[in-house]
Amino acid sequence: MPTTVQTFAEAKGKKRPLTMLTCYDYSTAKLMNDAGIDSILVGDSLGNTILGYPNTLPVTMEDMIHHCKAVTRGAPDLLVVCDMPFLSYETSVYDAVTNAGRLIKEGGADAVKLEGGRAVAEQIRAIVAAGIPVQAHIGLTPQSIHALGGFKVQGKNLDAALDLIADAKAVQAAGAFSVVIECVPAPLAKAITDLLDIPTIGIGAGPDCDGQILVYQDMLGMYTDFVPKFVRPFAHIGEAMTRAFQDYARAVRDRSFPNASEQFDMDQALVDQALA
Ligand code: KIV
Ligand code: NA
C-alpha cells in the first residue's frame, strides 16, 4: 500500500516505528521501494554525499529538483519528501510557497521539509495552506551550521531544551505533518515525542521517536568523510565497492575481462573480407 501523510499520522504513538532513509537517485530508490522502507527523504545532504561540498549550504533548488525527479521515478509507492535548500524559504513566505511548489510540480515530491522552529512557523503555515504537506526539522539543523558553531548535540541545557520544546510545539501548531529531530539527547526527544500529536522522526535522537531516518551512504558504510556517533553501518558497501573496483582493474589489466561469454562474436572470414 502506498505511503501517505495518513500513514504517518496513523503511526503516531504506535509500537511499529516509521522507517525513512535519504535517497538521491533512481536505482537506489527502487531498492528502497522494494525493501519496504516507509518513506524517502531527498535530503540536501546530497550536497555532502553526492556533490562533495563540505556542507549543505551551496545546494540549489535545481540540484534538489534534479535528484527528486530521479527518486520519484524509482519509488512510486513511497511518500517522497524533498528538502528545501538553504535560503529557498527563510527569505519570505512568498519564496517559501513558490519554492515548495516547484519541488512538488517539477520535482514530483509528495511533501517538503524545511529546517527551523518558531522562526519558520509562518512559512510552514503558508505552504500547508497551499496544500503541500510539510515535515519540519529541529535540533541540529545543518543549514545553520555557522550559527550553531559546528555539528553538536542540541538542547542539552535547560534554556536550550525549553527552546527546542517551543520549536516543536510551534511547527505542530503551524500544521507540519511530522518533525525530524536531529542530534538531541534521547530523554528530551522522548519527552517531545510524548508531548506532540504529530510523529517525530529521529536521527541521533534515541529509540523513542515515532520513526528513524539515516543518510543512506552512512548506514551502508560508504561515506567516510565524517561518521557521526549515531550512525550504525548496516553494511560495508564502501569496502565492497573498493574491492570490486580493484578486481575490475586487475581483470582488465591481465585481459581476463572480458571473456568469451562477455563479448560478441563474428565470422573471421567476414573480418578478413572487410580488410581485403
Ligand atoms: O538532508 C538530510 O539528509 C536530512 C536528514 C539527515 C534528516 O535532513
Ligand atoms: Na537536510
Grid coordinates standing for 14?
504506535
Task: Categorize the per-residue pLDDT at 223 as very low, low, confident or very high, splitting at 50, 70 and 90.
Answer: confident
Would you give the DSSP letter of residue 92? -
pLDDT score, position 225: 80
Grid coordinates standing for 189?
526527544
Rounded Cα distance, 276 and 271, in Å: 9
Q: Is the pLDDT of residue 24 over 90?
A: yes
Question: Percent of the chain, pLDDT > 90?
Answer: 96
What average pLDDT is seen over the chain?
Answer: 97
| Helix 158-174 with 121-129: angle, nearest 10 deg | 20
pLDDT score, position 221: 96
Dump strand ranges (E) for 95-143: 111-115, 134-139
- How distant, in Å, are the alpha carbons of 8, 160, 213, 254 from that of 2? 12, 38, 18, 49
Q: Is the pLDDT of residue 112 over 80?
A: yes
Do 156 and 185 form a contact (C-beta atoms < 8 A)? yes
Q: For 27-67, how does the pLDDT look when each residue is reduced to its tens digit (9 = 90+)?
A: 999 999 999 999 999 999 999 999 999 999 999 999 999 99
CA of 88 to the centre of ligand 2 (A): 13
Q: Is 213 in the pocket of ligand 1 (CB under 6 A)?
A: yes
Q: What is the CA radius of gyration of the chain?
A: 22
44 marked as binding residue: yes
Rounded Cα distance, 213 and 21, in Å: 5
pLDDT score, position 94: 98
Return the domain boundaries, the chain. Answer: 5-235, 240-275
| Strand pairing class (79-83; 211-214) | unpaired
Rounded Cα distance, 169 and 175, in Å: 10
| Neighbour count for residue 169 (Cβ, 10 Å) | 16
* Residue ranges with CB less than 5 Å from ion ligand 2: 43-44, 83
Would you give the DSSP letter of residue 38? S
pLDDT score, position 236: 96
pLDDT score, position 14: 86
Nearest to 241 by CA among 257, 258, 225, 217: 217
Burial of 217 (C-beta count, 10 Å sphere; 0-12/13-18/19+): buried
- How distant, in Å, are the alpha carbons of 43, 68, 100 from that of 110? 14, 10, 10
pLDDT score, position 134: 99
How big is the CA angle at 96 (ends 101 and 189), to the nearest 5 degrees? 105
Could you confirm whether 182 is annotated as catalytic?
yes
Question: Percent of the chain, pLDDT > 70?
Answer: 100
Q: Is the pLDDT of residue 1 over 80?
A: no
Q: For 118-166, how does the pLDDT look when each residue is reduced to its tens digit (9 = 90+)?
A: 999 999 999 999 999 999 999 999 999 999 999 999 999 999 999 999 9
Task: Categorize the per-residue pLDDT at 73 as very low, low, confident or very high, splitting at 50, 70 and 90.
Answer: very high
Q: Is the dihedral of CA 194, 195, 199, 205 positive or negative?
A: negative
Rounded Cα distance, 132 and 240, in Å: 40
* Nearest atom within ligand 1 for CA of residue 113: 8
Atom 5 of ligand 1, residue of closest alpha carbon? 43
pLDDT score, position 179: 98
Q: For 184-213, how does the pLDDT look when each residue is reduced to its tens digit (9 = 90+)?
A: 999 999 999 999 999 999 999 999 999 999
Residue where the block lists cell 543518510: 215
What is the fold of 5-235?
TIM Barrel (3.20.20)
